[in-house]
Amino acid sequence: MIFGQMLAAEAEGAILAHSIHVGEVHFRKGRVLSAADIETLTQADILKIVGARLEAGDVPEDEAAAALADALAGSGIKRAEAFTGRANLYAEVAGLVTIDRARVNRINLLGEAITIATLAPFERVEARQMLATIKIIPYAVKQAHLDHAIEIAREAGPLISTRPFTPHKVGLVATTLPGMKASIHDKSRKVLEARLEAMGSRIAREIRCHHDEAEVTTAIRDLLDEGCSPVLIFGASATSDRADVVPAGIARAGGDVLHFGMPVDPGNLMLLARHGKVPVIGLPGCARSPALNGFDFVLARLLADLPVTPGDVMQMGVGGLLKEIRTRPQPRDGTQATSASAPRIAALILAGGRSSRMQGPNKLLAEIDGQPMVTHMVKAALDSQASGVFVVTGHQADKMRDALGGLTVTLAHNPDYADGLSTSLKAGLAALPEDIDGVIICLADMPSITPAHLNRLIAAFDPEEGRNVCVPTFEGKRGNPVLWGASFLDEMRDLKGDVGAKHLIGLHEEDVVEVPMPDDAPLRDIDTAEALADHRKR
C-alpha cells in the first residue's frame, strides 16, 4: 500500500485518509475518490489530498476483516457486515463464550495490521451481545499476512464459539443442624433458583436432611435415581476437609471427590465431585448470597454442558478476586454487566403511495419475477439483520395486505396517505418499538435492494463514532434507503406535506457517513412505466 500526499487530479481510485470539509465539499476519510469527486475537488481549488493506494497483493480492509471473522467464528455466532475495516461477531443465543486465548494472542502477535479483541473466555453472554471485534488497522493488509492469520484461526477447531445454556433438572440437598432456622434454607433456595432460572434451568427436587454422612448419602442417591443433574449440596456447616460430612457422604454414595477448594474469593471452600457422569458440587457458604462468587463460574459451565476439571478450577485464580473492596466502585450483585450488543435496527418500508407517476395501476403490485414489486423490498428486509420489518400501507391497503400475506411483518395503515409522504413516514414511526437504536427508511419501489445492502448500512451505524445517519452511495452519488439513528425520529415526526426526511441529511451533515455500495441499486427506484420496463429487462 502506498500512503501519503498526492495531487488531487491524479487521485482517482485513492482512499481519502483525512476528511475534507471546504465550502460545499464534505468528503469523509475512507471515501474512494471517483472521477466526479476529482472534478468537485478541482472546482473547489483543492489541489492535494492525503490518501492511500492499494498495490498488488493487498487485500482491502473490509474484505480482510470479513474473511478473518468468518475463520474465527464457530457455532452460535453471527458476523456483522464489515465496515471501515471492522467486523464484529455477535452471540446468537445466551450461553458461555469459549475462546482459544493462545491462538488470539498468536494472531495479534503477527504484526500491527490485524487486531482481534474479545471478551474473556467462559464469560456469560446474552443473545445479540458482541463477542469480538476484528479490526484491520491500515486500509489494506498483505494477502500473505491475512492467510497466516486465517491458518492459525482454523488449525484446531473453532477459535470463538458460544455454548448455549441447556435446561437441567437440578437436585438440591440442604443439610441442617439443631437450632438452624428453616428460613435460612428458604432464602438459600430462592437465591439458587434465581441463578438457575437466569440460565434456563430449575430445581427439580430439594431434600432437607440432618448434617450427617449417611443422610447425605441417601439424599444424593434419591436425587440421582430421579435423574437430577447436577446435584448441589448446601452444607449446614462449611466443609473444612475432604473427610468432612459432605465429601464423605458423596464418596459413600459412590461418587468421586475430584477437588476441594478453589483460588476464587469468595468461593474458596467449593467442592468438586462427580457420580458417574453427574456433577456433584458442595457449595461454599457464599453461594447463599446473590453476590458473584466462585460457584457462579462453575455453575455456568455445567449448565452449558462444558466439563469442569480440577485443572479448570485451579486456573480460575486470575480474575478470581471478587471481594468487595474500596477500589472497586460498583458492587457485585450477581447481575450481568451492560455489554456491547448488536444494534436494534428496524426496517420501515413506505408502501402507501398512489403511484401517480405511473398514470394508472399501483406500481407496487406490478409483477416482477413472479411476485409483486413490494415483496422484493420486504423480503430483503426480512432476510437482513434488521430486528423487525414494518410496512406502511395506504392506497389500496387491502390489496397490499393480500400481497404481503404470510410474511412476518407489522402493518401500519396511513389513512391520510393522499396528504403526502410525511404522513406515511409518521404513521410508520408510530408503529416502531421504543427500544430500537435506529431505523432504515426504505422505499417500496426499489426491488433491486438486497439484504447485503441493508446489512452494510447496519454495519456502518455507530453513534459513538459519529455515524448516526448512514447513506448508501455508488460512485459518489447518494441514494436510498437511509439508516437514521433513533435520536432523529422526533424531527421526522414534525415533517409536513409531501416530503420525506431527505432534507434532514443536510441539516446533520456532521452525523452522516457515506456507505459505498457494490452496485447502483440504491440509485434506482421505479416511478414510471418506462422505469418498470427497463428493470424487467435487467
Looking up residue 451, the CATH number of its domain turns out to be 3.90.550.10
Considering 305-309, 362-366, 423-427, 504-508, the range whose residues carry the highest mean pLDDT is: 305-309
In a domain, 220, yes or no: yes
Residues 119 and 27 occupy one common structural domain? no
Dihedral of CA 277/283/288/291: which sign? negative
Q: How far apart are CA 363 and CA 346, in angstroms?
A: 24
Looking at the chain, the whole-number percentage of residues with pLDDT higher than 70 is 96
- Does residue 263 have a cis bond before it (omega within 30 degrees)? no
Using one digit for the tens of pLDDT, what is the confidence trace for 14-73?
999 998 988 878 888 888 999 999 999 999 999 999 999 999 999 999 999 999 999 999
Residues 295, 407, single domain; the answer is no
Mean pLDDT of 479-484: 96
How many other β-carbons are positioned within 10 Å of the β-carbon of residue 366?
19
76 & 155 share domain: yes
Q: Are residues 98 and 29 in the same domain?
A: no
Closest-CA residue to 403 (of 375, 433, 363, 367):
375
Q: Cα(135)–Cα(142) distance, rounded to whole angstroms?
A: 14
| Whether 45 and 71 share a structural domain | no
If asked whether residues 175 and 140 sit together in one domain, one would say no
End-to-end CA distance of the chain: 37
User: Among residues 104, 138, 164, which one ends one of the domains?
Assistant: 164
For residue 362, the model assigns a pLDDT of 87
Position 328 confidence tier, pLDDT thresholds 50, 70, 90: very low
Number of other residues whose CB lies within 10 A of the CB of residue 19:
11
In a domain, 320, yes or no: no
Picking from 137, 164, 191, the residue at the C-terminal end of a domain is 164
496 and 351 in a common domain:
yes
Quick check: helix, strand or coil at residue 192? Answer: helix
The yes-or-no verdict on residue 436 having pLDDT over 90 is yes
Residues 6+ apart with CB under 8 A from 230: 168, 170, 171, 278, 279, 280, 281, 302
Confidence of residue 536 (pLDDT cuts 50, 70, 90): confident
* pLDDT, tens digit (0-9, with 9 covering 90-100), for 96-130: 999 999 999 999 999 999 999 999 999 999 999 99
Helix axes 451-460, 373-382, angle to 10 degrees: 50
Is the model's pLDDT at 326 over the cut of 60?
Answer: no
Which domain covers residue 176, as residue numbers?
A: 169-314
Which three cell numbers, joined as nine digits, stand for 29? Answer: 476519510
Instruction: Confirm if 74 and 159 have CB atoms less than 8 A apart.
Output: yes
Mean pLDDT of the chain: 92
**CA-CA distance, 12 to 34, in Å (whole number)?**
5
Taking a C-beta distance cutoff of 8 angstroms, is the pair 153, 110 a contact? no
Q: Please provide the DSSP assignment of 440-500 as one string.
A: EEEETT-TT--HHHHHHHHHH-BGGGTB-EEEEEETTEE-S-EEEEGGGHHHHHT--SS--
- pLDDT value at 167 more than 70: yes
Q: Please answer whether residues 511 and 469 qualify as being in contact, where contact means their C-beta atoms are separated by less than 8 angstroms.
A: yes
Let me know: does 439 contact 348? Beta carbons within 8 Å: yes
Is 509 found in the same domain as 363?
A: yes
In a domain, 323, yes or no: no
Whether 151 and 247 share a structural domain = no
- Cell numbers representing residue 149 in the block: 492469520
Last residue of a domain, one of 263, 292, 314: 314
Confidence class of residue 394 from pLDDT cuts 50, 70 and 90?
very high
Residue 197 — φ and ψ, nearest 5°? -65, -35
pLDDT of 334 > 60? The answer is no
Q: What is the pLDDT of residues 68-89, one digit of tens each?
A: 999 999 999 999 999 999 999 9
Residues 389 and 519 in one domain: yes
Within 10 angstroms of residue 15's Cβ, the number of other Cβ atoms is 21
**Could you tell me if residue 339 is inside a domain?**
no
Q: What is the mean pLDDT of residues 204-229?
A: 98
**Residues in the chain, how many?**
538
Q: Is the dihedral of CA 202, 208, 213, 218 positive or negative?
A: negative
In this structure, are 46 and 67 located in the same domain? Answer: no
pTM of the shown model: 0.84
Provide mean pLDDT across the span 217-245.
Answer: 97
**pLDDT for residue 271:** 98
Amino acid identity for residue 337 in this structure:
A
Please state the domain count of the chain: 4
Instruction: Output the CA angle 92-96-99, nearest 5 degrees.
Output: 95
Task: Tell me whether strands 95-99 and 140-142 are parallel, antiparallel or unpaired.
Answer: unpaired
Residue 340: per-residue pLDDT: 79
For residue 6, what is the domain's CATH number? 3.90.105.10
Domain-embedded: residue 517? yes
Within this chain, do residues 40 and 118 fall inside the same structural domain, yes or no?
A: no
Q: Cα separation of 142 and 165, whole Å?
A: 40
Contact status, residue 522 vs residue 474, Cβ threshold 8 Å: yes
Lowest pLDDT segment from 36-40, 214-218, 231-235: 36-40
Residue 333 lies in a domain: no
Return the DSSP state at 93. Answer: S
Question: CA 260, CA 270: separation in Å to the nearest integer?
Answer: 6
Q: How confident is the model at residue 331 (pLDDT cuts 50, 70, 90)?
A: very low
Q: Is the pLDDT of residue 346 over 50?
A: yes
Least confident piece of the model among 148-152, 366-370, 447-451: 366-370
pLDDT of residue 54: 94
pLDDT at residue 390 in the model: 97
Whether residue 457 lies inside any domain: the answer is yes
Burial class (CB in 10 A: 0-12, 13-18, 19+), 111: middle
pLDDT of residue 341: 86
The CATH number that applies at residue 197 is 3.40.980.10
Task: Establish if 335 belongs to a structural domain.
Answer: no
Q: Which helix (H) or strand (E) element contains residue 198?
A: helix 182-198
State the CATH number of the domain containing residue 129: 3.90.1170.30
Residue 357 is predicted with a pLDDT of: 65
